[in-house]
Chains A and B, each alone.
Chain A
Amino acid sequence: MAGLTGRMSTVVKAKVSKLLDRAEDPAETLDYSYQKQVEQLQNVKKGIADVVTAKKRLQMQEKTLQQSVVKLDTQARQALSSGNEDLARTALERKNVAQTELQGLDGQVAELEQQQQKLIDSEQKLRAKIESFRTKKEVIKAQYSAAEAQVRISEAATGVGEQMADVGLAMQRAVDKTENMKARADAVSELEAAGTFDDITALGGGEDDIDRQLKQLSSQPAVDEDLEKMKAELGKGGGGEAPQIAPSGGAGEGAQPSESGQA
């Protein structure tokens, strides 16, 4: 088979025979294989821990962004009800950026969850094979002549070696995925550091560089839509009274329209 599967098979088999060639006599093969197996199990444990760490970091960022979305939405309402449409627009633009990032993070957390589960499954399978190898090697030692033992050891070692190569592959893929996600997490951190999701009421009157970049980043129709919706909601009760604003904002700070008016 020369296709996709043929290439995969060739690469894995080369890895396995390289692993087994390092030992010359059967007893050495057994010891060497077993030692490698135990090492590999430790690696898988470490791999799982790395994935969990990456996932936790992304989840913390998700939480921060969720809070920012609520806060910016509240501030947009406050700004609008006190007649400052420009400030409301800026807040909604920032909310839009936060929401977009949040969606990206959601997908990545789900993917890491999958990777974690796969590695846990792989670890269990490898553990079962190692256990089987341990039993078989005693049987082989006790029951077979040297020549036959060599053949059987080589079979067993190939079986377990292949499982190890396979777990190695799963680990490598998990590491690659985690690396990609770190890059995204770093990008979100940079946005945070640049004050993208900071308190909008702390902004001065003039438009700064971040604002201009944000306007390019955020999707304008979505912001316009949000703004119109908000205006309609505020207009409904006749004059946008505070009691209407507070429930959707959710926070205690929701009833202070005068504060945003100063910005």
Chain B
Amino acid sequence: MIVRISGEDQYRLADEQKDRLNELDNAVVTACEGGDEQGYADTFAALLDYVRSNGERVGDDELAGSDLILPPADLSFAEAGTAFNGEGLIPD
């Protein structure tokens, strides 16, 4: 499974690690929905750290699409709530 952290790199993770990623992602969503800004910052950082420390970086000369794409590390609390609806962050 290849996971991209937007604005950084692609990482190769074992398929079994998907469950853990799901848990971490759910924690981010829960913090966002609860309006918990500090909780969002903590859980989102934990999600990215998990990928960075458990994944193996994909080389720049390797061309592969990602199975999963994580938002950039500097995504603000406000952006997390709204920016990925519709056009949002990524221009055509």
Contacts and interface: CB of A to CB of B under 8 A. Distances in A.
A125 B60 contact: yes
B89 interface: yes
Interface in B4-36: 4, 6-7, 9, 21-22, 25-26, 28-29, 32
B64 interface: yes
A1 B88 CA distance: 19
Contacts of A12: 6, 69, 90
Given A3-B28, A122-B7, A8 B61 contact: no
A interface, over-half SS: helix
Q: Which of B21, B63, B85 has the most CB of A within 10 A?
A: B63
Given A3-B28, A11-B88, A118-B7, A173 B63 contact: no
Contacts of A228: none
B80 to A, nearest CB: 6
A261 interface: no
B92 A15 contact: yes
Contacts of B44: 4
A229 B34 CA distance: 47
Given A9-B69, A162-B66, A169-B90, A4 B29 contact: yes
Interface stretch (A102-110, A127-135, A195-203, A208-216): A127-135
Interface of B: 4, 6-7, 9, 21-22, 25-26, 28-29, 32, 44, 47, 60-72, 74, 80, 84-85, 88-92
